Structure 1
Amino acid sequence: MRYANRLAEALLTILFAAMIIVGSLQVFNRFFINVSLSWSEEFQKYAFIWLVFIAIPVAYNRYAHLRVDSLVGLFPEGLQRMLALIVDILWICLGVALTMLTWRIMQVTRFQESPGLGLSMSWVYCGMLVGGVYLIACVVHRLVSKTAEGNVA
């Protein structure tokens, strides 16, 4: 799982850098050369979709999603573990929903092409599918790790 996490973080870095480079290139071309790139806005939108859905599991791994620790801290330790388990199950439900619904969308859009880049739209939505599967894998890995350590209620 460590390699998958490193790969995801590297992919996020590459996507973000590509978005910055393409955006800067578009601004430069528009204001200095007076020629607009026809594909740059589309590229940035699609890269952002991939970036967001790959970042969700990365943030999950880092405990970076919003939560109310002060409220949970008021409960007994056993109830805290039970709430953490419920939250992890909800994360799995989100990952399954993303995966299943995105797969349906990909089936509908597989013959549609994006106007600027000429990509199959199913590749655009594939970032949501990859993010959903990766999220499920991260949650299952955490649950298995907790179970092995004896930390699950």
Structure 2
Amino acid sequence: MFRKYSFEACIGSVLFIGLFLVILVQIFGRTPLFSGPIWTEEVARWLWVWMALISISAVERNKAHLRMGFLMQLMPRGFQRALGLVSDLVYLGIAGHLVWIAWKSILRTWNNESVSLPTTDAVLYASAFFAFILIVHRILRRILSGDSGDAPDKEIVL
């Protein structure tokens, strides 16, 4: 059994709270109360990207991504597990390749200055690098534990 909240979900929650606060500063900065700082737009964008990408790993951990399983449920259990393993292996290959692409993007943007922040654009691209490493970790854990092809713990019926 695993803990209710994963490391990635906690980080995503903290980033969401930070994003909310930065957007509040943006909103109040557009009123006559005070002049908002210029960096809030860029920080909001960066927080959004980091939050979204890191949170994908939490979704992967909980098997909460969107799926249409009505055809799979008609198949025998062994076939479901085999197809789940093949799907995870393909996903692992794609995620591994995206780690490599993100790493090359970090190196390419290492000397690009951010518009309003005292850092480089590589910090933004590092979000994809770290997120896909976490996703690769979650896929490997699922494959090694034999959970490939298993149904999620809870299904949401719409």
Give the TM-score normalised by the residue count of structure 2: 0.85
Query: How many residues are matched?
Result: 146
Could you list the runs of 5+ residues in structure 1 that have no partner in the other structure?
none
Q: How does 1:55-70 map to 2 (within 5 A)?
A: 55-70=55-70
* Partner SS, residue 120 of structure 1: coil
- Structure-1 separation of matches of 2:114 and 2:126: 14
1:38 maps onto 2:51 in alignment = no
- Structure-1 separation of matches of 2:88 and 2:109: 31
User: 1:57 Cα shift?
Assistant: 1.2
- Structure-1 separation of matches of 2:91 and 2:58: 13
User: 1:94 Cα shift?
Assistant: 2.6
Q: Which runs of 4+ in 1 moved over 6 A?
A: none
Could you list the runs of 5+ residues in structure 2 that have no partner in the other structure?
151-158
* Percentage of identical aligned residues: 23
User: 1:53 Cα shift?
Assistant: 1.2
Q: Is the 8 A contact 1:94 1:132 kept in 2?
A: no
Q: Which residue of 1 aligns with 2:124?
A: 124
Q: How does 1:1-153 map to 2 (within 5 A)?
A: 6-146=6-146
Give the aligned CA root-mean-square deviation in angstroms.
Answer: 1.8
- Structure-1 separation of matches of 2:86 and 2:32: 55
- Structure-2 separation of matches of 1:88 and 1:134: 14
- Structure-2 separation of matches of 1:57 and 1:9: 8
Higher helix share: 1
